[in-house]
Structure 1
Amino acid sequence: MKKLNIFSLVALMFALFALPVQAADDGAKVVYHVDFNDVTRYSATLTSINNIMTAYENQLMNADVHLVFVGHGLRFTTDDALKGTAYEHDKDLLERRDELKGRLDALMNSRGVKVKLCDTTRAEVGLSEDKLYEGIELVESGVYDIAILQSEGYAYLKIQ
């Protein structure tokens, strides 16, 4: 009878220790959407991405996070002033551009966030690809990319 109790105790311990291991094996999939021109809102988006990456890491979860820029989001992917376009840089963006660019770079290169830009938006204003920040992937259509990611189980987040 003692062997059965010890066996049960050992089995219970293995079951309890398996729970965090299972959570660590689960991945988290999120896509953020930026199609707005508000600098404060964009900054909040970068903060949210950083926070979610930290939370996943603390839970030992693999994170697959995408940031997709469409329309007005183009402003946050280049140092080009985009003069004469609907996406032209303004005073708020010019004052914070270096800070925001550095935060985006850190998310891409230190945290592994995949950053994409709608090529339709880029082509619409005639911005050459070499004017984009390094590491940004062009996708044919940003909204299409977001829809595909959602169909693959990615959670959709857009900071308000």
Structure 2
Amino acid sequence: MPIAALALALSMPAVAQDDTQRVVYHVDFADPTRYSATLTSINNLINDAEQKLLPWDVHLVLVGYGIRFATDDPLQGTPYAADEDLNERRAELKGRLQTLIDVREVNVHLCDVTRNEIGLSEGKLYEGIELVGSGVAKIADLQREGYAYLKIQ
């Protein structure tokens, strides 16, 4: 290998030197259908990685309205209060999220700024959700580390 090529290869970030699917999904919206599409997208990405025998490292970051998908609390009196559509789909969405956490090893993070804003206790969050100081800062950190950013529209 020529010296210039070797120097270039050594200067590349570590993430470029393996085939791991590194993705961060951003949820800051209230729509349960859009959130459902996000969970489907995560599952499809992991299925594809499995079929290609590639490792994955997927993160889901919940910010703002995304808190609605991290708890069974109705969040009454807050800007994030559950509506009829969410109440009808909550059990299904929660089950799908728990499967992604428990079986697919998806890392789920909730913005602690949002949680503190409405005074929701940590004990009301679904199991496996990690609090981060700032959700948008977590997303920026992951992007800086080479994670692809996805947000379902």
> Could you tell me the TM-score, scaled by structure 1's length?
0.84
Q: Which residue of 2 aligns with 1:30?
A: 23
Task: Indicate whether 1:149 and 2:136 are aligned.
Answer: no
**How far is 1:142 from its partner?**
0.2
Q: Which residue of 1 aligns with 2:99?
A: 106
SS in 1 for 2:105: coil
Q: Which residue of 2 aligns with 1:127?
A: 120
SS in 2 for 1:64: strand
Q: Which residue of 2 aligns with 1:58?
A: 51
Q: Which residue of 2 aligns with 1:81?
A: 74
Structure with the largest fraction of helix: 1
Aligned residues: 136
Alignment of 1:5-44 (within 5 A): 26-44=19-37
What one-letter code is carried by the residue in structure 2 that aligns with 1:85?
T
Percent identical: 68
What is the CA deviation profile of residues 47-85 of structure 1, one whole-angstrom value per residue up to 9, with x for unaligned ones? Answer: 000000000011111000000000000000000000000
Whole-Å separation in 2 of the counterparts to 1:134 and 1:39: 20
What one-letter code is carried by the residue in structure 2 that aligns with 1:126?
G
Q: Which residue of 2 aligns with 1:13?
A: none
**How far is 1:28 from its partner?**
1.1
**Among residues 57, 70, 83, which one is paired with 1:90 in the alignment?**
83
What one-letter code is carried by the residue in structure 2 that aligns with 1:148?
D
SS in 2 for 1:31: strand
Q: Which residue of 2 aligns with 1:115?
A: 108
Task: Indicate whether 1:46 and 2:39 are aligned.
Answer: yes
Whole-Å separation in 2 of the counterparts to 1:59 and 1:117: 30
Q: What do you get for the CA RMSD once the two structures are aligned?
A: 0.6
SS in 1 for 2:56: strand
**How far is 1:26 from its partner?**
1.6
Hey, which bits of structure 1, 4+ residues long, moved more than 2 A?
none
